[in-house]
Structure 1
Amino acid sequence: MRFTGNIDAKVDEKGRVFVPSSFRKILQREEEQGLILRRDIFQRCLVLYPQQVWDEQVDAITAKTNMFDRNGRNALRQFVAGAEAVSLDSGGRILIPKRYLEEACIKNDVRFIGIDNTIEIWNKQDAETILNQPETLANCLEEMMNTPQECK
């Protein structure tokens, strides 16, 4: 399952937003029923996880957590407690709880951004700021992908 692209949408007065049809089609194709929503760890946005992806993330964190280590246990607790199950209604919308809207500074205009196997939901202005930094992308990719070549 891989989500790509970025699509604008509007949140209604009740906190509902249409999940873009291209993303819904991927979820339907994968027969994904459950969705988990949480605030991103690093950015002021929300992350929508298909249930299977969420389970894999929690399993990966749990596998590296020593349950007798206070810091590890607290990190796991905060990660899991900061999440909430949401579901698509018959119209293809999810209800974003008010606290998440406030944490991500989302009022009306949002941008969905497909990030591999998750979907980010941004305040549209914040998304535009993040996406309009080509030098950051170039620098990050150069650093990540530039490995020294061995002499032959």
Structure 2
Amino acid sequence: MRFLGNVEAKTDAKGRVFLPATFRKQLQTAGEEQLVLRTDVHGKCLVLYPESAWNKRLDEITAKVSEWDEEEQMVLRAFMAEAEVLTLDSNGRFLISKRLLQAAEIDQSVRFIGMDDTIEIWASEKTEQPFMPQKEFAAKLKVIMNKSI
């Protein structure tokens, strides 16, 4: 499952928002019913994980975290504490908690951005400018693509 594209939407007074139909269809086709929402590790946005993508990330992290290392356990705790399990209602909406809306500085207008196996949710005004200038993007992409793995 790979999400692609970006779609604008609005939250209602309670913090509910419709998941864009293109993303909803992909989740339904894949049989994904539960979702996990958490703040992004790097930026002021939220990340919506289908349950399978969340479990994959969690497996990757827990495989590297020692239960006997206090600092590593604190990192795991911080990662888990920001997560909320949610499901779509019959209309395709879900509730973003006030805590997560504040963390991502979202008022009402949001932009959903497909990011491979997850969906990012940004305050629309934060996406009005490109994430980085075109020349910088091209140069960094070149470096990334020339990396040997």
TM-score (structure 1 length as normaliser) = 0.93
Unaligned runs of at least 5 residues, structure 2? none
Counterpart-to-counterpart distance in 2, 1:8 and 1:55: 27
Unaligned runs of at least 5 residues, structure 1? none
Number of aligned pairs? 148
**Pairing 1:68-83 to 2, within 5 Å after superposition:** 68-83=68-83
Q: Using the TM superposition, give the Cα deviation of residue 67 of structure 1 relative to its aligned residue in structure 2, in angstroms.
A: 1.1
Larger Rg: 1
Instruction: Give 3-state SS (helix, strand or coil) of 2:128's partner.
Output: helix
Q: Per-residue CA shift, 1:16-39, capped at 9, x if unaligned?
A: 001000000000000001000000
Partner of 1:36: 36
Counterpart-to-counterpart distance in 1, 2:85 and 2:50: 10
Counterpart-to-counterpart distance in 1, 2:88 and 2:53: 17
Counterpart-to-counterpart distance in 2, 1:86 and 1:75: 23
Instruction: Give 3-state SS (helix, strand or coil) of 2:2's partner.
Output: coil
Partner of 2:15: 15
Q: Using the TM superposition, give the Cα deviation of residue 70 of structure 1 relative to its aligned residue in structure 2, in angstroms.
A: 1.3
Q: Using the TM superposition, give the Cα deviation of residue 132 of structure 1 relative to its aligned residue in structure 2, in angstroms.
A: 5.9
Q: Using the TM superposition, give the Cα deviation of residue 78 of structure 1 relative to its aligned residue in structure 2, in angstroms.
A: 0.7
Partner of 1:136: 136
Q: Percent identity of the aligned residues?
A: 48
Instruction: Give 3-state SS (helix, strand or coil) of 1:63's partner.
Output: helix
Corresponding letter in the other structure for 1:77: R
Counterpart-to-counterpart distance in 2, 1:98 and 1:125: 19
Partner of 2:66: 66
Q: Per-residue CA shift, 1:103-139, capped at 9, x if unaligned?
A: 1110111000000000000000112234463233212
Cα gap change, 1:67 to 1:147, in 2 (>3 Å): closer
Q: Using the TM superposition, give the Cα deviation of residue 45 of structure 1 relative to its aligned residue in structure 2, in angstroms.
A: 0.1
Q: Using the TM superposition, give the Cα deviation of residue 99 of structure 1 relative to its aligned residue in structure 2, in angstroms.
A: 0.7
